[in-house]
Amino acid sequence: MTSKEIISLLPYEQPFLFVDSLSAISEEGTTGHYTFKNNEYFYKGHFKNNPVTPGVILTECMAQIGLVCLGIYLMKDMISENFQPQIALTSSQVDFFLPVFPNEKVMVISEKEVFRFNKLKCKIKMFNSNEELVCRGRISGMIKTSNT
């Protein structure tokens, strides 16, 4: 399964798709990128005259690249026209260190910790274009395996 196929299976679309590309994916984790465009809807009010990417959006970007893309890859043998995987976030714990500004490109790296009983848990880190740690944490989700 290619990275373009994985991205096409994501259950998101603009303006809530935070994956531009995947540069690595394996049974053990993913590496992907996203550039926060200066016209993103959330910059209009966060913060007045000094736009900063909200932490909840950074967490969502980490979850989409590091958890959902990996979950789709891990279930690639089950995916068909009749079955599209659905992944729901169950928990997140993220520590933030640096802000992300408009037009900034980030890299997300995830490492699978556990995948059993349809639950995926990953350690995920986000870096800015200077390779500085922006945030890191653990994110978990449940994968729906039936089409009912």
pLDDT band at 117 (very low <50, low <70, confident <90, very high): confident
Q: Is the pLDDT of residue 148 over 50?
A: no
Catalytically active residues, by annotation: 46
The pLDDT value given to residue 31 = 98
Contacts of 1 (CB under 8 A, 6+ apart): 72, 73, 76, 79
Q: What is the CATH number of domain 3-144?
A: 3.10.129.10
Supply the pTM of this predicted model: 0.94
pLDDT digits (tens, 9 = 90+) for 14-65: 999 999 999 999 999 999 999 999 999 999 988 888 999 999 999 999 999 9
CA atoms within 13 A on the CB side of 96: 13
